[in-house]
Amino acid sequence: MNFTDLKDFLEEKYDLYNRETFIETDPIQIPKQFTGKEDVEIAGFLTASIAWGQRPTIVRNAKRLMEFMNQQPHEFLMNSSEKDLEVFKEFKHRTFNGDDCIFFIKSLKNIYQKHGGLEAVFTNAYRQAGDVKSALAYFREVFFEQEHLLRTEKHISNVLKKSSAKRLNMYLRWMVRDDKRGIDFGLWKNIEAKNLFLPLDVHTGNVGRKLGLLKRKQSDWSAVEEITMNLRKFDPQDPVKYDYALFGLGIFEKF
């Protein structure tokens, strides 16, 4: 496929999958239940954090987390006691267990109490460094500033160790992109969509390689940079909109 044909193909698939019907099967349906900014941020972050594996399982377990938080994520976060957190002890999603979950709640509480919230942590670092990779690295530093189990660290990707950071990049897509299609939230106005990176997973990676957008065999940070750089050629202002095209082709069309 030449450049024009490939662009047309990607645009067509983006248009096909970037619709509200997409929400029915996607984990983004969890933060979509909320209207308050902080509720959306927290529900979105916790959902994105467990977004690997079968999507029905992700959705089911994320719903369970919201139930544990009385469907009021921000209020629960700010007012929960040690005893309130005991309900999370039994939580499990693949390798993410109750201990991990309790630390995540405590860390988020610390972020809202001492750092001005999730948006502030990401956007302040982004403004200073001017790039999303630095913001991802800084966020991880802040997230683990409190005492924690070493095992929990694997659940927040480390871009400085070349992780693809799929779940964090997906979360940023949710919070930052605003294309008036009613899927991504567009809540955070101080990070530019043009600087986002593709949430690279097995589907987007495989489709990207078949389309010649990705040569690298490993799905690491270098691969994220490569495929995002190629997508910027088609839309410099909003390259990660093609996440819909690549993901849709991979999961719905088995491309």
- Classify 73 as helix, strand or coil: helix
* Cβ atoms < 10 Å from Cβ of 241: 24
- Tell me how far the alpha carbon of residue 99 is from its chain's centroid: 21
pLDDT single digits (tens) 104-123 = 999 999 999 999 999 999 99
Question: Among residues 225, 229, 226, 231, which one has the least CA distance to residue 245?
Answer: 231
Q: Given a cut of 90, is residue 180 above it in pLDDT?
A: no
Residue 254 pLDDT > 90, yes or no?
no
CA distance to 22, 85, 159, 170, per residue, from 164 (Å): 24, 31, 7, 11
pLDDT higher than threshold 90 for residue 7: yes
The tally of domains found in the chain comes to 1
- With cut-offs at 50, 70 and 90, classify the pLDDT of residue 134: very high
Domain that holds residue 197: 3-251
The whole-angstrom separation of Cα 6 and Cα 137 is 33
Q: What is the mean pLDDT of the chain?
A: 96
pLDDT, residue 242, reads 98
The β-bridge partners of 96 are 93
* pLDDT tens-digit map of 183-226: 999 999 999 999 999 999 999 999 999 999 999 999 999 999 99
